[in-house]
């Protein structure tokens, strides 16, 4: 079988890190051929064309065809998976929400072009920031495509949270599970360890053996470290995360298509779960079943978790209202 994948921002940093992993089979496995459509704006076309030449030189068995374009109708034609990466990254001192005005305008036209040109059953992953609200804009413009087929990347935050826990506990990261991200892909996000496990056992008692005061460590060290990791990367390397973002995008899309047994995190449309206003794109604990994200329901939230989730959801409401005021929604 062959899957058609459209990557926007293919001439950019994350695009360059993603393309070769997709062509190598990391996204859909060793038996699925891929057709790539690289969608750029005119300024980014030369870089995307260069990447296409290198893809050819990679001699990837799974890669059937590569097309570079700045025409959204061509770019999304027949696409099964759309990866919306193309957007401006933030610089030092900015919050991701500061990009709303600069990037929000990209996602309405792309949502419309997806609705008009993509394959039935298309699944859309938004990476470009601010990812949750850009997803909301794209989904709102994609007439006829259920909002459930759109999701925002928060897997990078979850991977960061699992890595921080593993480092603190001195265990391999693969032994850490169930660390969902709630809310916005922003500094208000809530990485939640209350249900987390290490080698199948609860994480909190394991942390208590290492950290003096676990609630204080969570509030003052762990949560801010994870929530502000994007800013830390920008400060240290001078530009925003690239390879780890591409890696998380691969994790997210692979799991969405192939399914998950355990929980992961994704920004998905709320139907009112956990009191999150209907229609917002909020990160929740999710499973992927039969190609659909399913929110893990019925989890108990203590007061601390509730307050943090409410704060992040309030920010999502503010962002939604801001893009409405800008006429983008
Ligand atoms: P980059 O500047 O290197 O590349 C962006 C590319 O997008 C450029 O080549 C640009 O020409 C292209 N582009 C701009 N508008 C476009 C449009 N309308 N259609 C098609 N292409 C368009 O940036 P990057 O480092 O690759 O980051 C891309 C985005 O991903 C940024 O918004 C960044 O903040 C975001 N990001 C999100 C996460 C996450 O976890 N959700 C993680 C890292 C980065
Ligand atoms: C990240 O989390 O690394 C990205 O969203 C980039 C950023 O602006 O922090």
**Beta carbons within 10 angstroms of residue 209's beta carbon:** 8
Considering the entire predicted model, what is its pTM? 0.98
pLDDT of residue 41: 98
Q: How many CA atoms lie within 13 A of 301 on its CB side?
A: 21
Q: What is the largest CA-CA distance in the chain?
A: 57
Please state, in angstroms and rounded to a whole number, the distance separating the CA atoms of residues 44 and 37: 14
Question: Which residues of the chain fall short of a pLDDT of 70?
Answer: none
Output the CA 222–ligand 1 centroid distance in Å.
27
Output the CA 15–ligand 1 centroid distance in Å.
8
Pick the atom of ligand 1 nearest to 47's CA: 9
Sketch out the chain's domains with CATH numbers.
2-152 (3.40.50.720), 155-320 (3.90.110.10)
- Do strands 197-198 and 176-177 pair parallel, antiparallel, or not at all (unpaired)? antiparallel
What secondary structure does DSSP assign to 239-286, as a single string? S---HHHHHHHHHHHHHHHH--SS-EEEEEE-SSGGGPPTT-EEEEEE
The answer to whether the CB of 160 is under 6 A from ligand 2 is no
Residues forming beta bridges with residue 282, ordered by sequence position: 268
pLDDT of residue 178: 98
The answer to whether the CB of 186 is under 6 A from ligand 2 is no
185 is catalytic: yes
Please state, in angstroms and rounded to a whole number, the distance separating the CA atoms of residues 44 and 241: 19
241 and 235 in contact (C-beta within 8 Å)? Answer: no
**Beta carbons within 10 angstroms of residue 53's beta carbon:** 11
Question: What's the distance, CA 308 to chain centroid?
Answer: 20
Residue 199: both structure tokens together:
């080698």
Closest C-alpha among 314, 313, 273 to residue 296: 273
pLDDT digits (tens, 9 = 90+) for 175-229: 999 999 999 999 999 999 999 999 999 999 999 999 999 999 999 999 999 999 9
For residue 169, what are the contacts with CB-CB under 8 A and spacing of at least 6? 176, 198, 203, 206, 207, 210
Residue 27 carries which DSSP code?
T
pLDDT of residue 50: 98
Pick the atom of ligand 1 nearest to 127's CA: 41
Sign of CA dihedral 321, 151, 20, 1: negative
Residue 89 carries which DSSP code?
P
């Amino acid at each position: 079988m062959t899957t058609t994948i459209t990557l926007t921002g293919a001439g950019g940093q994350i695009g360059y890190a993603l393309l070769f992993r997709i062509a190598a089979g990391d996204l859909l496995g060793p038996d699925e051929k891929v057709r790539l459509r690289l969608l750029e704006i005119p300024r980014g076309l030369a870089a995307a064309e260069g990447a296409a030449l290198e893809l050819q030189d990679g001699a990837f068995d799974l890669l059937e065809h590569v097309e570079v374009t700045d025409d959204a109708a061509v770019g999304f034609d027949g696409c099964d998976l759309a990866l919306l990466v193309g957007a401006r990254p933030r610089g030092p001192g900015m919050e991701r929400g500061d990009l709303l005005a600069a990037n929000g305008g990209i996602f309405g036209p792309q949502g419309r072009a997806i609705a008009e040109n993509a394959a039935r059953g298309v699944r859309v992953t938004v990476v470009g920031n601010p990812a949750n609200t850009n997803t909301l804009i794209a989904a709102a413009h994609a007439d006829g495509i259920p909002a459930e087929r759109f999701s925002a990347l928060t897997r990078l935050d979850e991977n960061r949270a699992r890595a921080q826990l593993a480092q603190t506990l001195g265990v391999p990261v693969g032994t850490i599970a169930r660390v969902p991200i709630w809310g916005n892909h922003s500094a208000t996000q809530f990485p939640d360890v209350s249900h987390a496990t290490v080698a199948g056992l609860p994480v909190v008692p394991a942390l208590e053996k290492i950290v003096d005061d676990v609630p204080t460590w969570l509030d003052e060290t762990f949560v801010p470290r994870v929530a502000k990791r994007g800013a830390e990367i920008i400060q240290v390397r001078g530009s925003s995360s690239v390879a780890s973002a591409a890696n998380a995008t691969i994790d997210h899309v692979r799991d969405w298509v192939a399914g998950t047994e355990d929980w992961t995190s994704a920004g998905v449309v709320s139907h009112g779960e956990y009191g999150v206003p209907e229609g917002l794109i909020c990160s929740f604990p999710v499973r992927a079943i039969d190609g659909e994200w399913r929110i893990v329901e019925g989890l108990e939230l203590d007061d601390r978790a509730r307050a943090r989730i409410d704060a992040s959801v309030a920010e999502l409401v503010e962002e939604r209202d801001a893009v409405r005021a800008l006429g983008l929604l």
